[in-house]
Structure 1
């Protein structure tokens, strides 16, 4: 066992998805212990109160300091109550020990106001700025000051906001000075956070947006949120939009000269989608020369949800198949139910439908299907 390269052990254990099996590996042999623990202990969540509060996390790392080097994902739940001096010290000590975090999430409390946990912000920002983050998520926070937004949106290549409100009171453009320097932002996901879209589309945020390549927005108000598409039109390579009705956004978007892919979400409330056909046709006609892919994200609400009608799928094949240079189609199916076997079977059924009803694109190798996880990064490919 000691002669096996650690890289090979890491690769093998990385394929083990069952936590109990990993625990047994950690206890079975010294050569497996470190690699197993790195997987088991890669994530930490801390709360302001309760069993997993800042004090408990500090105590854990004091007893087992090596664990801190395993933690690459960190979630902090912030309280609506101001932190006591003791909790603030524990919070600062905890963050000082976490030197390998690459993904960080900040989740608001019951009220979620940024001002409620203002005492934690200096330590939190120091941690965010010194960490080499690849992803930052901000969830359930209201009254986020614009200067704080400037820091957060510039601190990682991938940043997301979910249910975040922005406080624009007392805003002074000078307060952004230095907060957007060396922005890392390349991918931005904004869900139900119209104020974030509005503010980030303003001229003062041009430094933060300078390298933005991927933008996905879920909004109920096109007029408020579409401005960021105009502000980033010359750099956007990938876009997604989740509006209701979703097709209305196509009439509001600017020309995107370097666009490579567009993601169209589709609700499963009806089995025939004429507006889906119209939207795809509109994209094909007015597409920039570098558009390579149209992604259709299709959410199945239940096991009994009907697929698209065969004539709808066939119509899409006709729209795209008539032009040999048209972009490829990628179907992404998101399941809100079922186990792996059930979802795999449904995915296979849909892939069979696509093979039959999209013969032109299938013959050209320009249609694929995958299982899609909204918060995940993996797809399961069904078409070969």
Structure 2
């Protein structure tokens, strides 16, 4: 018997991130085996191609006791071969404590899964432990899957198309789970219309009426669909993140306390032309907003020396007369974050010109303690 408690071994091994080190730890002693496996198999990615001698799905299907360790599962559906589809179905039916599920697909990927895998995936969505679901580039998704997804607290739909060829049935309505959706993430794309049409279908349960956090990337062709979603959850929405590609139109959102707006800055280091109008729209549509977070993405891939930030006219809402405002009466913080768009380069030097640029754009915030600028510049690891 070891003189040290098992909890100490568990705590130490939980800090290990390297897979090879975890494999070595699993061979040290019986007391190391379970915590090593727990961390080795916590996050699993399943592909349709063989990696090395065996594909992970084949190993997990053969040794089902390892599936119990899975908490975060990512499945790349587009290139699954038939035997791996069956193995995936076995895994999906076995993960009882899954917390996060990500599915990458293709244009007609759902039909390629077959009845067994589709049924297993639908069963997996009903796990009480599942807290987050991400569907990315998944076409022809049955309406029953979207209905099941609304029972998950955090859901992200990125270029997801709902198969609406069959009319919403009474059976689907009767079998719909109680909505638990609190955080919805919607990306742009022509497919967003099918998501909105399903979520807001008059014969469906009120899927959107408990949403507290909403993240949307708005483009002009689909702006009206995003407006419908925002209006539908206006009564409960507390946090809104918008990634606009043009001027936005927001409905009245009387409960939103925090808003985040993302912008991309080009090589001229100038905010988009529509940015000022969007800030004005936020000021008029979010009367109780307490925090505005501005995330500014920059790309350093350019030839020649870095240029200074361009001089910009002050934003009207944050001009010198800000303290005499009639809008944003509850505003307590404007947080400007400089973030690197690509994985290359260092933007630390650029931050020193970013701060005075933001102060110049919002002169009414100087000396108020409201404006805060920070740098988000993760270290670049050379290949």
Q: TM-score range by the shorter chain?
A: 0.7 to 0.9
- Which residue of the other structure, out of 53, 57, 62, is the alignment partner of 2:60? 57
Q: 1:107 to 1:293 in 2, by over 3 A?
A: same
Structure 1 residues 86-97: aligned runs within 5 Å: 90-97=87-94
Mapping of residues 21-170 of structure 1, within 5 Å: 34-50=34-50, 51-52=54-55, 54-59=57-62, 61-62=63-64, 65=65, 67-79=66-78, 90-109=87-106, 111-119=107-115, 120-152=117-149, 154-170=150-166
TM-score (norm 2): 0.77
Residue 180 in 1 paired to residue 176 in 2?
yes
Cα pair 2:57 2:87 within 8 Å, conserved: yes
Structure 1: 5+ residue runs without aligned partners? 374-384
Residue in structure 2 matched with residue 232 of structure 1 by the alignment: 233
| CA distance in structure 1 between the aligned counterparts of 2:183 and 2:61, rounded to whole angstroms | 33
Moved more, 357-366 or 187-196: 357-366
Residue 171 of structure 1 corresponds to which residue in structure 2? 167
Q: Cα offset for 1:128?
A: 1.8
Aligned to 1:302: 300
> How far apart are the structure 1 equivalents of 2:14 and 2:307?
36
Question: Which is worse superposed, 280-289 or 227-236?
Answer: 280-289
Gaps of 5+ in 2: 379-383
Tell me the number of residue pairs that the alignment of Structure 1 and Structure 2 aligns: 357
Q: In the aligned structure 2, how far is the partner of 1:299 from the partner of 1:78?
A: 31
SS in 2 for 1:148: helix
Q: Distance in 2 between matches of 1:15 and 1:307?
A: 42
Separation in 1, partners of 2:307, 2:97:
45
Residue 276 of structure 1 deviates from its aligned partner by 2.0
Tell me the residue number matched to 2:381.
none
- Matches of 1:113 and 1:206, distance apart in 2: 27
* 8 Å contact from structure 1 (residues 266, 298) kept in 2: yes
1:331 matched to which residue of 2? 336
- Aligned partners of 1:237 and 1:259 also within 8 Å: yes
Deviation at 1:26, TM superposition (A): 5.4
Alpha-carbon deviation of 1:49? Answer: 4.7
Rate the CA distance shift 1:330–1:49 in 2: closer, same or farther, 3 A.
same
* Change over 3 Å in CA distance of 1:43–1:49 after alignment to 2: same
Report the TM-score, using the length of structure 1 for normalisation: 0.77
Structure 1 residue matching 2:136: 3-state secondary structure: strand
